[in-house]
Every structure is written in C-alpha cells, then in structure tokens.
C-alpha cells in the first residue's frame, strides 16, 4: 500500500501504512473466519498514548490517529 | 510709488561740494599764523631696479628624459582540446509518497465521502468517551523496588586495588564491559590494568570470572562499545592512546591502536565515543577527548593503525564570551576536556565538559582554525560556539536528553547537577545531590524525565522530575563504606537494567522498578514545559 495523502512526515506515514495494512488484512480474515457472512467495517486500536482508527476499503485505507484528552 | 533719485542730481551735488572742500582745505593751510613759504628742492634720483621677470632676462636650462624602452616579446598559447561536461544533482524523491496530482482521483473522492461520516462519528464519540478511564494494562510483572541483580568483580584487579573507571553495554544489551584503572593517580603510572567483559545472558555466569579479560599495559580511563558490532570496544588510556579491541578473538583482541605519534593525546583520555561517518553511516569513527584540550576523530585504516581524520583544539582565547570565564594572563592555554556528549537530534552538535567547570556547545562542522602550537597532521579547528555558565569545579560528565533537542545535564565536582538548555547560558535548574563529587550523570533512555547520578558518597541516585524535583526518588547505596561510584550506564536494549561501577572494583547491575521504565502519558509535554520554564 503506498500512501497517497498524509498530514504526517513521510517516514512515519510509510511505517504506519505498512504495518496497519497487514494488521487490517489479518483482522479482516479473522472476522471472515468466524462468520463468512460478516465483514470488517472499522478497526480501532487503543494504546497508552493515542487511539488509531482504520477505515478499510477495497482499494484504499484511511488511518486516523487521535490523541484522546486524558 | 517712490521715484528713484535721478543720478544727475547726485553728481551735481558731489561736484558742487568738491570745490567747496578744496577751497576749505587750502584755506586751512594758510589759516593759522604765517607758515614758511613753500620751497622747491631737488633731491637725488632714487631708482629701484625692476625685478620684473621679463627685464631680468630668461635664464633657462634644457633637460630631457626618456623612459627606457619596454622589452616585449610575443608568445602565443592555444588550448589543444577542451571538453564540456555538465552535472546536475537530482533532488531526492521523497520515499514512496506519490506526488499529489492536481485532480483528485474520482474513486478516491468517492471512498472518502463514504467513510467520512463514520470516521467523524467515531472521533466525536472518542472525544467524550469515558470507556477507558482508569483502565491500565500490565504487560509485565510489576517490580516495586530496585534490586541488585548481579555483583561482578575481577579478583586480581580488585587485589591490586584498582577502581572501575568506566563501563559500557554492548549493542545487543547482553554484554557488560568494565575497565579497571585508577582515578586518583596524579602522575604516570606503569600499572597494568584490565578490561573485562561479562555476558549476562549466558547460563552459568560466574560473577568472579569474566568471559573475556584483556590485559592492557596502561590504566584504561574510558570504554565504549561499538553501536553496531557487538564485539568491538574502544578504550582510552591514561597514556593518551586510544585502542580498539575485538573481544570475540581471545588470542589477540587488539584491533587498532593510535600508537604514540605526534597526533595522539598527551594527557589521559577521559572519554571515547563512536560516531557514524557522515557519508557511510555503517562505518564508524572513534572520537576521543582528553585534558590536553584536543578532541580527535580517528579512522581505522589497514594494518591496525588508527589515523587521525579530523581534530579540534580548545584554546581559552577562542572561547566565546557568553559568560565570564577567568582568562589566563598570556599565552594560549588549552582547555582540558573531561566529558563529551552528542545530541541525538543534530549529529553535528556536541557538548563538552571541561576542567574549568563550564560546559561548551560545539559543532563538528566548525571551520575556524585553532590557535594552537600543538603539532598535528590534520589542521586542528576551534569548534566552540557557546559557553555556558560554570560549575564550582570540573565537570566530569555531560549527557544530552534523548527526548528533547535542547536539554542536557552536567555533573561536577561541586556535587551539583545542572540542567541546561542549549539556548541560554544560565542553567534552568541546579540540584545539589551530594556533599562530595559527582562522577557521572545519565538520562534514562525510556523515561524523558528520569536521570541517574553517581556520587562520591557511594550512592546511585535516581531522579524523577515528574514526581519530585528536589530530592532523589530512589537512592541506592552501592558501597557499604562510602567509597565513590565512578560510572554508570543504562542498558538501552533491556531498559530495566542499570549498571554502576565503584572504587572497590565491583560492578553492580541493578534492576529498576517499573516506575522507572514505563513511560507515563504526558511525559514529553512535561519535559517541553520544563525546558521552557525551568523546574517548579
């Protein structure tokens, strides 16, 4: 997956894109394995520092990183 | 309108008045009494020769001058061949990001319109969500206290009363090396010393028997493991030499040495560091600093020789006068350098600690030549850009923060640790940690607000600036009888380990509690605030 638009710096973008694409594919196959009629619509990963949201699609992937106020 | 006086009337008046005056004067002469009658006399003729140039006649001489003839010769030259060449650098393409085209791909637009509503809904829900309040996951077994994992020593060195002068963790974080020497010797010593390494991950680790022992003919003052090669280690000696060993070769570990040439230091080498080469970032060079005022960069060339590739010399006269520094009366005096630390954000920027107690901000890219008479094969340059306000005694250790580009710590023999910002000469904050000397200070590689200091009272003190900025959070007593701790290093791969070496020749590896290894939520912001305001 190559990044098309980004608001972060290039190296971080490339890192996020590569890693999250793999994770999204794995999540999608997990959902399909549990129930073949089901499909992945949205992926959220919450970490200590922020929350990463991934909206998957056939051709594109939208990744949003939010810093929730603590 | 006034009419101008007619000139006729004026003249007439004047002429009418003149005969009247003349008559009056003549009358005046003959007036009083009977003067003597006017007589005629004839006097001799007085003549004055004319001095007019034309009467005197022309006196002249003829002279001529002529410039010497100019020698000329004709010669011609003609370039036989010439060639035109052009080069053009190409701007490096940014990695893997397709340049933005003016027209949006319509499918991209459709995709974004599809997901926009869902994503904004989730973002808004997140903003107000309390779902994760107070939810903390413990991935590892929490350690509440600091405990001593290993106590390592080399009995023959301890028997000679040697101190641990320096320790270093290797690139993989599993091997710890320590150097034996003496830090309180005042003169040349022919003491043999040792460099010992222990592999902490190996089974059957014998704390009294290092895995590798290298005998060195002079006292080793500092050590540094290669950042990429797990078995190469550089050391600086009391005699001023810099050696590089390969500890994976037990029969002949010495890889490179500087030898005792004109280029080598003439004073003990206080610190060595590995630096990546500017063009080939896989090759490294060794930087050494010593109290003779030189900062030298060595390159390993074939046949085991370390050659000087770049050098800097510090002279008091060339220090920028940002703060008042006592200047010696005359002569070039070298500034003895006792510590060096490179910034993790700018590869050319480094900080030096000096014997005079003032940290110096320097740059590898400096071009000004140093005014020094020390002989050297490479011209020495003056690297100093800024002088910070001094400690009360020599600075033995400086450390640049790995999380903030402007902060660095310095520890001196006055027992104080100063937190400086690169932007100002006065320290942001100053903490008194010990009544005696402080020998080493290091920032933690994982927690932006934590640092550790080694004191002359035998204690390793850990500071957490988030909790308490005046007292150490934890104070570990390394030695029972108060003999000083000379060096300490954090392990950047296994971040809960901290090693410290003391004057009894023992190296202790401490396991830190999880409070010191897990980063809290707002630490980077707190560090930025600290840099701006100073400690509260």
How do residues B471-525 score in pLDDT, each as one tens digit? 788 888 888 887 888 888 998 888 888 899 888 888 888 888 877 777 766 777 7
Would you state the pLDDT for residue B323? 56
Give the whole-angstrom CA distance, residue B406 versus residue B404. Answer: 6
Whether the per-residue pLDDT at B135 is higher than 60: the answer is yes
- Cβ neighbors of B153 (< 8 A, separation 6 or more) are B207, B208, B504, B505, B506, B507
**More confident position, B179 or B135:** B179
Asked if B119 has any chain A CB less than 8 Å from its own CB, the reply is: yes
Q: What percent of chain B has pLDDT over 90?
A: 0
Quick one: pLDDT band at residue A64, thresholds 50, 70, 90?
A: very high
Closest residue on chain A to B113 (Cα) = A62
Closest residue on chain A to B122 (Cα) = A53
Query: Is A62's CB within 8 Å of B521's CB?
Result: no
pLDDT in tens, B199-237: 888 777 777 888 888 888 888 888 899 888 888 889 888
In B, which residues are within 8 Å of A14 by CB distance? 95-97
Would you state the pLDDT for residue B29? 45
Per-residue pLDDT averaged across B380-397, rounded? Answer: 85
- Cβ neighbors of B209 (< 8 A, separation 6 or more) are none
Would you state the pLDDT for residue B11? 47
Quick one: pLDDT band at residue B305, thresholds 50, 70, 90?
A: confident
pLDDT in tens, A31-61: 999 999 999 999 999 888 888 999 998 888 9
Query: Is B112's CB within 8 Å of A11's CB?
Result: no
Distances from the Cα of B108 to the Cαs of A25, A40, A58, B112, B413, in angstroms? 20, 20, 11, 6, 64
ipTM over 0.95: no
| pTM summary value | 0.67
- Partner residue facing B115 (CB), from A6, A48, A62: A62
In A, which residues are within 8 Å of B124 by CB distance? none
pLDDT in tens, B159-169: 888 888 889 99
Whether the per-residue pLDDT at B413 is higher than 50: the answer is yes
B482: region left, alpha or beta (phi > 0 left; psi from -120 to 50 alpha): left
- Partner residue facing A4 (CB), from B95, B108, B114: B108
Asked if B118 has any chain A CB less than 8 Å from its own CB, the reply is: yes
Would you state the pLDDT for residue A25? 93
Per-residue pLDDT averaged across B224-252, rounded? Answer: 86
Helix (H, G, I), strand (E, B) or coil at B159: helix
Q: What is the CA radius of gyration of chain B?
A: 44
In A, which residues are within 8 Å of B108 by CB distance? 4, 60
């Amino acid at each position: 997956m190559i990044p098309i638009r980004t608001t972060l710096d290039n190296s971080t973008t490339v890192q996020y894109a590569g890693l999250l694409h793999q994770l999204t594919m794995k999540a999608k196959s997990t959902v399909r394995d549990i129930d073949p009629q089901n499909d992945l619509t949205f992926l959220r990963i919450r970490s200590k520092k922020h929350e990463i949201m991934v909206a998957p699609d056939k051709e594109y992937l939208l990744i949003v990183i939010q810093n929730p106020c603590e | 309108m006034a009419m101008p006086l007619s000139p006729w009337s004026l003249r007439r008046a004047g002429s009418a008045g003149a005969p009247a005056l003349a008559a009056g004067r003549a009358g005046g002469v003959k007036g009083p009494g009977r003067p003597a009658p006017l007589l005629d006399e004839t006097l001799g003729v007085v003549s004055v020769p004319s001095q007019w140039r034309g009467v005197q006649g022309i006196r002249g001489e003829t002279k001529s001058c002529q410039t010497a003839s100019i020698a000329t010769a004709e010669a011609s030259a003609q370039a036989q061949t010439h060639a035109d060449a052009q080069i053009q650098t190409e701007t490096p393409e940014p990695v893997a990001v397709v340049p933005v085209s003016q027209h949006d791909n319509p499918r991209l637009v459709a995709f974004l319109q599809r997901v926009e509503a869902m994503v904004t809904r989730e973002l808004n829900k997140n903003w107000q969500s309390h779902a994760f309040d107070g939810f903390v996951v413990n991935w590892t077994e929490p350690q509440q206290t600091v405990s001593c994992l290993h106590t390592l020593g080399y009995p023959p060195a301890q028997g000679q009363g040697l101190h641990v002068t320096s320790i270093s963790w290797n690139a993989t974080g599993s091997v710890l090396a320590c150097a034996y020497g003496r830090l309180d010797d005042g003169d040349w010593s022919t003491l043999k010393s040792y460099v010992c390494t222990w592999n902490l991950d190996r089974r059957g680790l014998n704390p009294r028997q290092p895995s590798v022992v290298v005998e060195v003919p002079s006292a080793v003052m500092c050590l540094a493991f290669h950042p990429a090669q797990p078995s190469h280690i550089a050391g600086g000696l009391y005699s001023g030499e810099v050696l590089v060993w390969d500890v994976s070769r037990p029969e002949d570990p010495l890889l490179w040495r500087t030898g005792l040439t004109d280029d080598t230091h003439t004073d003990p080498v206080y610190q060595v560091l590995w630096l990546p080469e500017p063009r080939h970032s896989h090759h490294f060079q060794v930087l050494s600093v010593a109290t003779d005022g030189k900062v030298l960069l060595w390159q390993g060339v074939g046949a085991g020789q370390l050659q000087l590739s770049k050098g800097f010399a510090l002279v008091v006269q060339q220090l920028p006068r940002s703060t008042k520094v006592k200047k010696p009366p005359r002569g070039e005096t070298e500034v003895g350098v006792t510590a060096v630390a490179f910034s993790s954000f700018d590869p050319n920027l480094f900080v030096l600690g000096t014997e005079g107690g003032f940290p110096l901000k320097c740059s590898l890219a400096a071009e000004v030549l140093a005014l020094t008479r020390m002989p050297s094969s490479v011209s020495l340059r003056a690297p100093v850009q800024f002088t910070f306000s001094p400690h009360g005694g020599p600075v033995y250790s400086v450390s640049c923060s790995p999380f903030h580009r402007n902060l660095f710590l310095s520890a001196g023999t006055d027992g104080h640790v100063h937190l400086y910002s690169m932007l100002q000469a006065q320290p942001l904050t100053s903490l008194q940690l010990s009544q005696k000397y402080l020998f080493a200070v290091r920032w933690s590689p994982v927690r932006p607000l934590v640092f550790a200091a080694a004191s002359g009272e035998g204690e390793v003190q850990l500071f957490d600036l988030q909790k308490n900025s005046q007292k150490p959070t934890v104070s570990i007593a390394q030695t029972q009888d108060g003999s000083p701790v000379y060096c300490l290093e954090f392990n950047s791969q296994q971040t809960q380990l901290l090693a410290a070496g003391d004057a009894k020749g023992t190296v202790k590896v401490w396991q830190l509690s999880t409070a010191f290894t897990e980063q809290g939520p707002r630490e980077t912001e707190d560090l930025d605030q600290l840099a701006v305001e100073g400690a509260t």
